Each structure stands twice: as structure tokens, then as C-alpha cells.
Amino acid sequence: MNGSDVAYIITCTIFVFFMTPGLAIFYGGLVRRKNLIGIMEQTYISIGIVGVLWTLFGFTLVFGESIGGLIGNSSYMFMNNVGISPNVSIAPNLPFILFFVLQMAYAIITPALIAGAVAERMSFKAYMIMIAMWLLLVYCPTGNWVWGGGWLARMGVIDFAGGLVIHLSAGMSAMAAVCVIGSRKKMDYTPCNMGYVSIGAGILWMGWFAFNGASAYAANGVAGLAVANTLIASSAGIFGWMCMSYPVNHKITLLDTLMGGIAGLVVITPMAGFVQPIYSLPVGFFGSLVCASAVRLRTSLNLDDTLDVWALHGVGGAFGLIFAGVLADPSVAPKAGLIYGNGGQLFIQVIGVAAVALYAFVMTVLILKVISIFTPLRLSKGYEEIGMDSAVHGEKQYN
């Protein structure tokens, strides 16, 4: 084991975990005040549900030896064979328990992203059941396909830090949930507290350096490249979003700046350690432009994705994954992209995007349909009017 690598990954794990409280603050500021506690609790409860399920079953379903290229076996169930010694086939320079907990931090924040799409109207009970089932039936299988030696990994799909398993799967599942559950009675997209939005976005931004940098699994040049690309793309993303918003609103808002930065972070994630930094500028700019256009499309279709999870994570993740197949530099990436003479990689990336997008969408619809047999998916009309804070949780922001 390498001591500097261990210290680096421990630090990254702390910051990746801190992104979940950051997401709670970010989402809390974006909803109406009467639902601020509700959306925060939907985010924080993921720590409990996912943490327990990951320890018992999730880790082995992702990183156990792939059965038919579809799902991991039971070799690490109940943390069997997960100790302080390295696993030479997965992370030979790290304690296996450290790799386990880093992956847990990734797993915790992913289903919490979906809460933003169904904010202010989904039953808390149904939501808890959904994220538990979603972890085991969507996150774990797709994780094995990409990270555990499954069929997408064997086909040659490249994804540096979770564009498929985290962003695309959560974004497409968010849209599925919107389609099944429907819109709020009153669609109000006015943030209740821009201070919270700004602080939450700042925490996410900070954590994203660890989120992407940790995927090198070592304190090395690839980690440095990933961190540099992360900042460059998010900087360029600000201007991409503004190019869509300013001609319409004739104002430059703080919210536009933050959304553009986050869009840039999402689109660079699948290629952060695979491309040269100069390409991060157009990736961040045009990726953010595409995400902002997706918000316009969602609005025109009257789909109530409350906090635009699909536009940011689904569309942004797909954009980043596809362009990884164009820009991947073989000197740092496992495969060359189109501009380096490997046109087939772009085709492979498109297959990966289509497969995960379709699977996540369809499986989420099925999960929600099954849950609806046993408990309502939505809050009652009266509870939705009162707000989740008082009606469901018996709390409010200020007393």
C-alpha cells in the first residue's frame, strides 16, 4: 500500500460524503419554504437507507465477480472479505475497506439526486421504499456493468467518474418518476432562499474535485488532471448557461451562474481524467448550453421536474459520456477517442448511454408501479397544500 494514496483517498472520501449535506442545502434553498425540511430529509435519509443496504448487499452486487456480465456475486456480502488488506484485482494500493467506503459515499448521493425531481409532492414513505429498491435494482446492476467487469466494461465503454452509473441513471430515473407521479398542483419554481442555494452549490462544487479526483484511486498525475478539468469545465459552463438565459431574461442571475457551473461539473465527470485540459473549455461551455436547452424543452413539454434533475444529470451525463468517445486521449485514457483515430469508441459510448438510459427509465417506472400497489406515491391534496415540513415531518425552518 502507498501511504500518500491512502491519505489522499481518505480525504476525498470525506469530501464526497460532504456533498450529500451540500445537496440537502442546495435543494432546500430551491424549493418553497414549506417544503424545505422535507427535501432536506429526503436527501439525508439516503445516508441511512443506502448506507445499510450498501454494507449488506450493494457493494457485492456492484464489485463482486460479474455473473453473466449483469450483476456481482455474493463474495463480499455482509462485508465478507472486505478488510484492511488491499484487493489486488480492484485497488491494489489501498485498503479494501477504504475503497468500500469511498464507493459508499458515491452510492449515498446518487438516489438522493432523484428527490429533486419529485420534490414537494411525493410521499415520504413511498420515497424511502423507492430509493431502497432503486439502489438494488438500478444502481447496483449498472454499477456492475461498468465498474464490476460487466458487459459494458467488456464492450469497452469508458467512464472516468460515474457519468453512467451516477448521473445518467439518476437523471433518467428522475424523468421516469416525474412521468409516473405527475406534476405539483401549483408549479412554482421560485427558490425560497438563494443564500442556501449558493452555499449548497459551493459545497457541491468543492466536493466535485474529490468526486472526480478520487476516481484515479491514487495521488498521481491523473488525479491532478481530473481536478484541473473539473474546474476548467465548470468555469466554462457558467457562460454556456448564460448564453441561453440572458437573451430571454435580459439579466444575469446568481441562479444562472450556479446552474451553469454545476452543468459543467456534470458533463466533465465521465471524461475528467481522460481528456487534455484545453478540451474542457468547449465541453463545459457546450455541455452547459445543451443542459440549459433541456430545461427549455422540459418546460415546453409541461413536465414538472421540480429542480431539473433530468436536464442537469440525465442530459449532462449523456453529453459527457458521448464526447468522452470523441476526445479521450490514449496517453491518459484506456481507449482513444474519435479525434485520435478510434471512431468505434464513439459508437460504443452511444450504446452504453442508450442501454443505461433505457434500463434506468423502465426499471424506475416498474419500481414505482409496484410501490403504488401497497402505498400511495403522492401526498394527499391537503398535505401538499400545507407542505411537507408541517404535514409530514412536524417541523419548520424557523420556530
Give one DSSP letter per residue of 156-218, joined into a string. T---SSSIIIIIIHHHHHHHHHHHHH---SS-----S-HHHHHHHHHHHHHHHHHHHHGGG-S
User: Residue 167: CB partners within 8 Å, gap ≥ 6?
Assistant: 266, 269, 270, 313, 314, 316, 317, 320
Q: How confident is the model at residue 119 (pLDDT cuts 50, 70, 90)?
A: very high
The per-residue pLDDT for 43 is 98
- Give, rounded to a whole angstrom, the gap between the first and last alpha carbons of the chain: 51
Work out the mean pLDDT of the chain and round it to a whole number.
97
The per-residue pLDDT for 399 is 80
Max intra-chain CA distance, the chain: 63
- Give the C-alpha separation, 145 to 67, whole Å: 10
pTM (2 d.p.): 0.96
Alpha helices in the chain (DSSP H): 3-30, 36-53, 59-63, 96-114, 124-134, 140-146, 151-155, 169-181, 194-213, 221-249, 254-268, 280-300, 309, 316-327, 343-374, 381-386, 388-391
Backbone angles phi, psi at 371, to 5 degrees: -60, -40
Residue 117 and residue 129 in contact, taking contact as beta carbons nearer than 8 Å:
no
Which uninterrupted H or E stretch holds 66?
Answer: strand 66-67
Which one, of 175, 172, 133, lies nearest residue 374 by Cα? 133
User: Residue 177: CB partners within 8 Å, gap ≥ 6?
Assistant: 114, 117, 118, 122, 130, 364, 368
Q: For residue 217, is it left (φ>0), alpha (ψ between -120 and 50) or beta?
A: left
**Coil, strand or helix: which one is 306?**
coil
pLDDT in tens, 120-150: 999 999 999 999 999 999 999 999 999 999 9
The per-residue pLDDT for 396 is 84
Mean pLDDT of 22-41: 97
- Give the C-alpha separation, 123 to 108, whole Å: 20
Residue 275 and residue 283 in contact, taking contact as beta carbons nearer than 8 Å:
yes
Backbone angles phi, psi at 67, to 5 degrees: -95, 110
Residue 115 and residue 27 in contact, taking contact as beta carbons nearer than 8 Å:
yes
Give exposure, 94-118, as e/b (b: 16+ Cβ within 10 Å).
bbbebbbbbbbbbbbbbbbbbbbbb
pLDDT in tens, 55-110: 999 999 999 999 999 999 999 999 999 999 999 999 999 999 999 999 999 999 99
The per-residue pLDDT for 1 is 77
Mean pLDDT of 173-177: 98
Domains and CATH numbers, the chain: 3-376 (1.10.3430.10)
* Integer-rounded Cα radius of gyration of the chain: 20
Mean pLDDT of 268-291: 98
The per-residue pLDDT for 398 is 80
Instruction: Look up cell 448557461; give the residue.
Output: 241
pLDDT in tens, 49-62: 999 999 999 999 99
Instruction: Look up cell 420515497; give the residue.
Output: 127
